Amino acid sequence: MPRLPAHEKINYVEFPSQDLPATKRFFSDAFGWTFEDYGPDYSAFTGECLDGGFFRSKLAGRTENGGALLVFYSADLEDTLAKVVAAGAENAKPVFSFPGGRRFHFIEPGGNAFAVWSDPV
């Protein structure tokens, strides 16, 4: 049974991509995502805990530019780091500890920054 959108809760997220084909390839390779294209400049993903899409842009989402940082959760941080790097991401901030866990930051081939966190060791 499909989940209905919750009133006044975040329902969908859209990201820019400086290289839309590379972004799609990266998320497919690293996380197994599938996409549905809506023309040459937009591609949507569903079933990833939060649905959304990527649109072709000359800009990218980075915290140093004031952009929000979306953070994934991983039960095996080192395995996820290996997948992300193998799929073509830049490891922007190596694994570090923070109160509550550990995480790393990466930049996907379309230019957007993300992070992945895990529980403390």
For 30-56, how does the pLDDT look when each residue is reduced to its tens digit (9 = 90+)?
999 999 999 999 999 999 989 999 999
Percentage of residues of the chain with pLDDT beyond 90: 86
| Whether 42 contacts 60, CB under 8 Å | no
Question: The whole model's pTM is what?
Answer: 0.91
Band (pLDDT 50/70/90 cuts) for residue 5 is: confident
Question: Between 26 and 2, where is the model more confident?
Answer: 26
Tell me phi and psi for residue 63, to 5 degrees. Answer: -65, -35
